Amino acid sequence: MKARLLGFGEIEIDGQVYPHDVVIDAGVVRRRSKKASKPLRAQYGHTPLSPAEGLPWGGTTLIVGTGVDGALPIVPEVVDEAARRGVRVVAVPTEEACRLLDGLEDPAVNAVLHVTC
């Protein structure tokens, strides 16, 4: 899989440009739906990543791109759920997350990539 952050608010994955956050579930790209996490916005100062979003738990690793500046909050329940499932969470700024995805086979790729902040 080939991913690169084009700039604030845009990411390119395998030649397709997305102007929004994305979720990659076993290599399939979809738009991140933040609706379930929005009630936590006031608590975190930003809509955080929460397990209520339906995260891609398959596989052994979930890569979380935390944004251009690495400011995406991750609620502790994500880490707890990952541990319960035996999934390692790698949370890094989105540009670095893209580098981690480089060359991974599609079925092995599970990620949430935030493209702003």
d(CA 34, CA 55): 11
The model carries a pTM of 0.96
What phi and psi values does residue 103 have, to the nearest 5 degrees? 85, -5
If one counts the domains in the chain, the total is: 1
- Reported as a single tens digit per residue, the pLDDT across 6-59 is 999 999 999 999 999 999 999 999 999 999 999 999 999 999 999 999 999 998
Q: What does 24-81 look like in DSSP terms, one character per residue?
A: EETTEEEE---GGGGGGHHHHTS--B-GGG-----SSEEEEEE-SSS---B-HHHHHH
Residues 6+ apart with CB under 8 A from 39: none
Question: Range of 106's domain?
Answer: 3-114
pLDDT digits (tens, 9 = 90+) for 82-101: 999 999 999 999 999 999 99
Token pair in block for residue 21: 């956050």
- CATH at residue 21: 3.40.1230.10
